[in-house]
Chains A and B, each alone.
Chain A
């Protein structure tokens, strides 16, 4: 729909011989909201810092609007950044922080006043101009940081975990706010986060990264519904991942039983990873089920129950709105579209088993928020 603005070609970054980014290829369209999503140390912040001009890649090129900008210093790029933990100037008040870029650009005073005041309104900080930075709450500082970047009307805004330090409620509000601002101003956003929910709800395109490589690029729906490998399936949402064998197109065998699925194009009898989302599983009476298992744990989550069900020694996570007590026997049915088949990858066998449910689940829900260098 829109034209390409930024392209990364074989972007590679090494620190002290350690490969942080491994031949990243990616293009970003004008007006796009693109999110780099991945766990700590996956290379997402490094990618962002290269685009911002704070790091020079070891190999590969960054192209902006058709020109290679590897060696262009940050102050000559039409890109602004919202830094992790904001990096606001402590010696300047709110107004002067936001006006900083405009003053450097030597704009007329009237225009600076007008633009800063308008920006203060956009981020709902009208009347806060003379406050000192240290007198602001985290959420307010956050908005000053966004205003300070946006007031320069950059072509691209880079956001490095901008909501990481905020509490859940505020984070939700700011997510909506950011999306609204992005659409209203028509600026390309490149957003770094480790929060998959944030990525799915805000982005046009999600780039899932791990170990310095792109694991999958796609629309949020595609990433969620068609994960490419066990890492993506596990990182985005919850997944039960099983070993299976693709007998032929639309036929997959696991747990000693053949299921109909909607996937094709695999080798006959190719070993595959089978993904089943916990919310797709229908619970039925034991005699009607494809599989029969025993509930071993129940957790009330508000909207639903998370139950762990054991099938032949393998534990699944199932989300259901009906209560099934520990020890009860239930049957499940799997519709063809609930079964997603993936090629085996280096991640096979590492994820998707809920045998050690509690520990893993805590780890996933806990927004560690730790910073990535």
Chain B
């Protein structure tokens, strides 16, 4: 009886998954393995993936760096918020959420306005007699864009985990001779691990497939895999190659998140991906 009910309740979701996730995935797989002109089966797209490996590595590297920077910035922020009073916590939480209410495109464009050669920062430098700096079209600008856009996805899961750490465990550590720094390393950090892992994943996954940030803030030769995929679908008219790239990206994301979670070592808790 109970079993039937739960099946009935989950039916809409299962249907949704089949129609909008499983079937499209099959379509992507079909496209990846067929020729763009003839529509016949071919390995050509898969073989051609090698050409784009540099872009893959670059995307993974940039996203990993961004995730790590997000962690370094986000952890202290999350810790700070988690240790405020309830009212202050709500306020700060909202503050972290606030940029997410603004359009992603707008946020990225705002950085263009700040960083470009005739942008706000350079104009300011110029007006006080300093030389203009090449801020935009650099890898740093792309990583900055990623960090800025995805930082809330790091802070929120971290906060959710840190706020739940039982204060008595911290007292117990101090009771057993830990200085505040030792308490942090031996108790707080290990207990934050699930938050760190899901934060890393939440930043890494969207960052690795992003295209808009690199187009607006990166130089033309620093191409990320998301840009290439977009190009195949929108300009190159080769959806089949784009599909092959998407599939590989998906596999790589799985592998990377697997590695990130393995770092945590806690198998049960590592399962809190996205």
Binding site for B on A (CB under 8 A): 52-54, 73-75, 79-81, 83-85, 87-91, 100-101, 104-105, 148-149, 152
List 18 interface pairs A-B (beta carbons < 8 Å), by A numbering: A54-B171, A54-B174, A73-B174, A74-B171, A75-B175, A75-B177, A80-B175, A81-B171, A83-B172, A83-B175, A84-B168, A91-B187, A91-B191, A91-B193, A100-B176, A101-B177, A105-B177, A148-B176
User: B194-210 toward A: CB 8 Å interface, digit per residue (1/0)?
Assistant: 00000000000000000
Residues in A with CB closer than 8 Å to B24 are none
Name the segment of B34-42, B178-186, B212-220 touching the other chain.
B178-186
User: A87–B176 contact, CB under 8 A?
Assistant: no
User: A89–B169 contact, CB under 8 A?
Assistant: yes
B166 at the interface (CB under 8 A from A): yes
User: B143-178 toward A: CB 8 Å interface, digit per residue (1/0)?
Assistant: 000000000000000000000001011011111111
Residues in B with CB closer than 8 Å to A83 are 168, 171-172, 175
Residues in A with CB closer than 8 Å to B186 are 100, 104
User: B182–A91 contact, CB under 8 A?
Assistant: no
Known: A54-B171, A91-B190, A104-B178. 10 other contacts (CB 8 A): A52-B175, A89-B172, A90-B169, A91-B187, A100-B173, A100-B176, A101-B177, A104-B176, A104-B177, A152-B176
Residues in A with CB closer than 8 Å to B177 are 75, 101, 104-105, 152
- Once A89-B169, A104-B182 are accepted as A-B contacts, the answer to whether A81 and B175 lie under 8 Å apart by CB is yes
Nearest B residue to A77 by beta-carbon distance? B175
Distance A80 CA – B172 CA, assembled complex (angstroms): 9
User: A90–B191 contact, CB under 8 A?
Assistant: yes
User: A89–B175 contact, CB under 8 A?
Assistant: no
Residues in B with CB closer than 8 Å to A73 are 174
Distance A359 CA – B59 CA, assembled complex (angstroms): 71
User: A74–B175 contact, CB under 8 A?
Assistant: yes
Residues in A with CB closer than 8 Å to B191 are 90-91
Residues in B with CB closer than 8 Å to A74 are 171, 174-175
Residues in B with CB closer than 8 Å to A75 are 174-179
User: A87–B166 contact, CB under 8 A?
Assistant: yes
- Interchain nearest-CB distance for B168 vs A (Å): 4
Interface residue count on the B side (C-beta < 8 Å): 19
Distance A75 CA – B179 CA, assembled complex (angstroms): 6
Residues in B with CB closer than 8 Å to A104 are 176-178, 182, 186
Distance A53 CA – B172 CA, assembled complex (angstroms): 11
Distance A149 CA – B176 CA, assembled complex (angstroms): 7
Nearest B residue to A92 by beta-carbon distance? B190
Residues in B with CB closer than 8 Å to A81 are 171-172, 175
Nearest A residue to B191 by beta-carbon distance? A91
Distance A90 CA – B177 CA, assembled complex (angstroms): 18
Residues in A with CB closer than 8 Å to B266 are 91
User: A87–B172 contact, CB under 8 A?
Assistant: yes
In order of increasing CB-CB distance, the 3 nearest A-B pairs are A101-B176, A87-B168, A74-B174
Nearest B residue to A101 by beta-carbon distance? B176
Distance A90 CA – B192 CA, assembled complex (angstroms): 12
Residues in B with CB closer than 8 Å to A100 are 173, 176, 186
Nearest A residue to B187 by beta-carbon distance? A89
Distance A258 CA – B5 CA, assembled complex (angstroms): 76
Identify B171's interface contact among A79, A87, A90, A149, CB under 8 A. Answer: A87
Residues in B with CB closer than 8 Å to A152 are 176-177
Nearest B residue to A106 by beta-carbon distance? B177
Most chain A CB within a 10 A radius of its CB, from B174, B193, B266: B174
- Interchain nearest-CB distance for A90 vs B (Å): 7
- Interchain nearest-CB distance for A41 vs B (Å): 19
Residues in A with CB closer than 8 Å to B166 are 87
Distance A83 CA – B173 CA, assembled complex (angstroms): 11
Distance A116 CA – B26 CA, assembled complex (angstroms): 57
User: A80–B176 contact, CB under 8 A?
Assistant: yes
- Interchain nearest-CB distance for B85 vs A (Å): 13
Residues in B with CB closer than 8 Å to A149 are 175-176
Residues in A with CB closer than 8 Å to B176 are 75, 80, 100-101, 104, 148-149, 152
Distance A83 CA – B179 CA, assembled complex (angstroms): 19
Distance A191 CA – B40 CA, assembled complex (angstroms): 81
Residues in B with CB closer than 8 Å to A80 are 175-176
Distance A148 CA – B176 CA, assembled complex (angstroms): 8
Residues in A with CB closer than 8 Å to B174 are 53-54, 73-75
- Interchain nearest-CB distance for B264 vs A (Å): 11
- Interchain nearest-CB distance for A153 vs B (Å): 12
Distance A75 CA – B266 CA, assembled complex (angstroms): 29
Nearest A residue to B165 by beta-carbon distance? A90
Distance A149 CA – B173 CA, assembled complex (angstroms): 11
Residues in A with CB closer than 8 Å to B175 are 52, 74-75, 79-81, 83, 149
Which residues B217-250 have CB closer than 8 A to chain A? none
- Interchain nearest-CB distance for B194 vs A (Å): 10
- Interchain nearest-CB distance for A112 vs B (Å): 13
Distance A80 CA – B171 CA, assembled complex (angstroms): 11
Residues in B with CB closer than 8 Å to A148 are 176
Residues in B with CB closer than 8 Å to A105 are 177
Residues in B with CB closer than 8 Å to A53 are 174
Distance A79 CA – B176 CA, assembled complex (angstroms): 9
